[in-house]
Amino acid sequence: MKVELKQETYDFIKNLVHEIETQDNRSTRLPILYVIKETTREYGIEEDYGAEGFEWVKDSETYTWDEVVESVREQIEDDSFDVTEEDASMEGFKKVFYRNIERLSHNFFFTEKAAKEHLRINGHNLTKPQDYVIHSFRNDEIESVIEAMKEIVNKVEGK
């Protein structure tokens, strides 16, 4: 059987196989895939029900405690006033509890290089993104695709 490929197609496959074979597998059994892990905050958690922290919120904006204190002191025009949480509440600040949620994207990449390029281009749309390796456990389709690409390169290279 003879299959003809455009040179750019072959170069793409050859480079992809090279990346797959030489990249750091991060101590994970092959075949691996890269995904994007994103950490987001879920607000409105009860303090005693899995809350990991809190933020001060007023008019949909978040503030540090120092910013709350400064704002309250400006309102009452007293720089030495010892601000309490009750004072903050009276000035419209609300203590909102949250927990961090980690999610893996549904998008995957064969190489770390492609995942990092995706983050470079699209990272501004994500919350605390990072690339993450998963093992495509018993995924015959992924394993077959990688093996087929290797076979194409080996045949062309005469190996």
Write phi, then psi, for 32 (nearest 5 degrees). -115, 155
* pTM of the full structure: 0.72
Domain boundaries, the chain: 1-22+139-159, 42-98
Report the alpha-carbon distance of residue 132 to residue 51 in Å, rounded. Answer: 25
Provide the β-strand partners of residue 41: 100
Report the alpha-carbon distance of residue 58 to residue 87 in Å, rounded. Answer: 13
Residue-level pLDDT at 77:
84
Residue-level pLDDT at 1:
79
Q: What is the pairing mode between strands 32-43 and 94-109?
A: antiparallel
Residues in Cβ contact with 110 at an 8 Å cutoff, skipping those fewer than 6 apart: 16, 19, 20, 33, 34, 146
How do the pLDDT tens digits run along the chain, 159 residues long?
788 899 999 999 999 999 999 999 999 988 999 999 999 999 999 999 999 999 999 999 999 999 999 999 998 888 888 999 999 999 999 999 999 999 999 999 999 999 999 999 999 999 999 999 999 988 999 999 999 999 999 998 887
Residue-level pLDDT at 107:
93
Residue-level pLDDT at 3:
84
